[in-house]
Amino acid sequence: MSQMCDQMVIPKSYIVRMITLRRTDSTDTDFTSLVELLDSELRVLDGDEHVFYAQLNKTGHIDAVVAYINEKPVACGALRPFSNDAMELKRMYTRKEHRGKGIASAIVAALETWTLELGYKLCVLETGKRQPDAIALYKKAGFEMIPNYGHYKDVDNSVCFQKVLK
């Protein structure tokens, strides 16, 4: 049922999926289609607050990363300037059937690298309290909770994070 390969036993059912990350921007159709799926989920999660959040999540022209498996877009994330020394992570989304596979972690790492390449030393982000998986992702990636900033300052459902990049 399995084959020997350089002293390692590989079961026939073992499947390796290649994840490809591609830098792009908010005009990319794969990115915009993933953002539409994200917005559909957030409409349900945010309920009556969705209109408030939707106005803050308009993409405009921002840098983005799209993850592909077998050339199909499965996840995304984006960056936009926040201050002279910080970029803000935005529009993080992974299709439901691909969650829990480390794809979002890979996107966060790619966005952090891009942030450093652009000369910024800090990443900030906002997520919702109703998104425990997102909160866990950011904590696992080394982000620390900070007081809510900007438009999120007095929003009870918002949780803000930052990470000093090295």
DSSP-derived letter for residue 2 is: E
Q: What is the pLDDT of residues 6-58, one digit of tens each?
A: 455 545 544 456 899 999 999 999 999 999 898 888 777 656 664 555 555 55
pLDDT in tens, 1-17: 444 444 555 455 444 56
Q: Would 5 be classed as within a structural domain?
A: no
Is 98 inside any structural domain?
Answer: yes
Residue 10 inside a domain? The answer is: no
Residue 155 belongs to some domain of the structure: yes
Predicted local distance difference test score (pLDDT) of residue 13: 46
Instruction: Note whether residue 127 is domain-resident.
Output: yes
Sheet with 86-94, side-by-side order of all strands = 19-25, 63-69, 72-81, 86-94, 122-128, 158-164, 144-146
Total domains present in the chain: 1
6 domain residue, yes or no: no
pLDDT in tens, 57-82: 555 789 999 999 999 999 999 999 99
- % residues pLDDT > 90 (the chain): 66
Closest alpha carbon to 57 in 76, 84, 85, 38? 38
Q: List the CATH number of the domain containing 105.
A: 3.40.630.30
Q: Is residue 11 in a domain?
A: no
- Is residue 8, in this structure, part of any structural domain at all? no
| Rounded CA separation 127/104 (Å) | 14
Domain residue limits at 124: 17-164
Q: What is the pLDDT of residues 114-155, one digit of tens each?
A: 999 999 999 999 998 888 999 999 999 999 999 999 888 988
pTM of the model: 0.83
